[in-house]
Structure 1
Amino acid sequence: MADTGYLAGFIAVAAVATFLTRVIPFLFFQRHTEHPLVRHLGRYLPAAVMALLATVFLQRSATWNSSLPGLDALLPAILVVVVHLWRRNALLSIASGTIAYMAILQLDLIQV
């Protein structure tokens, strides 16, 4: 069994590192919010990250060798887009896509 002190130290270091990676950008960019680069990143980076995540998700999670290739991942992805355009709520759209994807997988709604 692992030493309790070691585990507590590991958790503390991980917590501090996580906290610092979240706080440092706010401290640094607080005085530079009007800089063109910061404004550009704030405008385009979230969409670029979401596109990258969606691409990786579709490549890794979809079943491409079925009778309906990729439909098990494309349907939840389309649902996320529709719900987000409808409600403009990221949490709701992500949750709806996740629930749809898990339901398709668990209930075997799309045959492989």
Structure 2
Amino acid sequence: MPLNRTTSLLIIVAVAAVTLSTRALPFLVFPKGKPIPKTVEYLGKVLAPAVIGLLVVYCLRDTSVMSSSHGIPEALAVLTVIVLHVWKRNNLLSIGVGTVLYMFLIQVIF
């Protein structure tokens, strides 16, 4: 369904307003000099590892160790991500290399 110019413009303005407000809201709620609540500090420390753990469980939930590849590509990719992250402490590098390795393994090797 094609949209007319007015509808398209309204969608762009709405998306821009929401994006701007989500970027500005933390600065309005927590101004400089005001202490950050302990709950927010705690969430800042635990949410990132919790989300990563949730993503790992989500990605590996359908891995069958009884089928042809027996979970070997998944295990090698996860091990690569862990080793690279412990070594380099770079999320983008470890996840990127792990993803490329996994895709290589399932497309070429297995």
**TM-score, normalised with respect to structure 2:** 0.75
Aligned to 1:47: 49
Alignment check: 8 A CA contact 1:58 1:74 kept: no
Letter in 1 for 2:21: L
Identity %: 36
Q: 1:10 to 1:45 in 2, by over 3 A?
A: same
RMSD, aligned CA: 2.4
Structure 1 residue 21: Cα displacement: 3.0
Aligned to 1:16: 17
Alignment check: 8 A CA contact 1:63 1:72 kept: no
Structure 1 residue 81: Cα displacement: 1.2
Structure 1 segments of 4 or more deviating over 4 A?
Answer: none
Structure 1 residue 103: Cα displacement: 1.1
**TM-score, normalised with respect to structure 1:** 0.74
Matches within 5 A, 1:1-112: 2-3=2-3, 5=5, 6-30=7-31, 31-33=34-36, 35-60=37-62, 62-107=63-108, 109-110=109-110
Q: 1:38 to 1:98 in 2, by over 3 A?
A: same
Q: 1:38 to 1:105 in 2, by over 3 A?
A: same
Letter in 2 for 1:78: L
Unaligned residue ranges in structure 2 (runs of 5+): none
